[in-house]
Amino acid sequence: MQLKTQLQEQSLFCRIGKGTAFGTFGELLQGVGSDDQDFLVTLPIQRYSTVIFTSQPDREELIVSPSSKKKSAQLAKNILKYFNLPQGGMLEIVSTVPVGKGLASSSADLVATARAISHCFDIELEEEQLETMLHQIEPTDGVMYEGVVSFYHRRVKLQQFLGMLPPLTIVSIDEGGEVDTVEFNQFPKPFTEEEKQGFDQLLKNIAKAITAQDLKRIGEISTHSAVLNQKLKKKKFFEHVMEICNVIHALGVIVTHSGTCIGILLSPEDEHYTQQLQTAYDKLYELAGEVTIYHSIS
């Protein structure tokens, strides 16, 4: 019995786990349905949060680096407590997802943290169970699911898996500052009942468009959602970006609805892609002085 206990303790000592999660460039669609539920449709991008968790049972505290990642630290503590695992260890977070811009940086950190601990101790953490734990921390994007999903971000619950997209490029600018997602999601959305019914239809339409791989329709819906969001989080360069989008015949405009970024959607499969990309970059650079290019996950 003593030998078994010693082996168990040794198996927990200095175990290391790794987890990753992607960010999302705002949302293809975000709004409130006729059921009064806030929802969003994700656009996964090739920006990632990577977390390394090292269990140290001989320590009593959990150390997180950077120390500012307090939400990830809290989630880690909650998971370790739930599974009755040693609380001591080191949580190291490295992310290429910009913070406070509406690109799901915090969501990616949290999901990557959960995956690192799961990997470390070889435990099963089902998506629904993770959603419940994340809900205790903050509103969260659906970055724990592969592909494009519609997601109740306030409730932290999957609505529907919508599918995968062909490659997309987002040529974007950042209007500056940071947005606190938790604070933003506390504000009521001033949409009328007619607009809520319209969001119901937009969700149905984008689900059909993704199934059909209809990028033109997806771009139109993304643009429509961006226009409606001007009511909530006005983008000062919105009209200028719309003009550029129309001039180069891009797919549409996409915004980080609760963030600071606005972008133009392009398809690398378009025969004019190279020229569209160059023109979009040049004109957005003239407008804002800095341009970032993101690529979707296909």
CA 96, 174, 179, 40 dihedral sign is negative
pLDDT at 180: 63
Q: What percent of the chain has pLDDT over 90?
A: 83
pLDDT band at 280 (very low <50, low <70, confident <90, very high): very high
What's the CA gap between 290 and 271, in Å, rounded? 26
What dotted CATH number matches 2-157? 3.30.230.10
SS3 at position 236? coil
φ/ψ (deg, to 5) at 105: -60, -45
**Residue with more model confidence, 69 or 13:** 69
pLDDT at 127: 86
Residues of the chain with CATH 3.30.230.10: 2-157
pLDDT at 166: 94
Burial 57-79 (b: 16+ CB within 10 A, else e): beeeebebeeeebebbbbbbeeb
Model confidence at 155: pLDDT above 80 = yes
Model confidence at 224: pLDDT above 90 = yes
210-221: per-residue pLDDT in tens?
A: 999 999 999 999
Model confidence at 240: pLDDT above 90 = yes
Residues of the chain with CATH 3.30.70.890: 163-295
**Residue with more model confidence, 232 or 18:** 18
pLDDT band at 171 (very low <50, low <70, confident <90, very high): very high
Q: Does domain 163-295 have CATH number 3.40.718.10?
A: no
- pTM score of the predicted model: 0.91
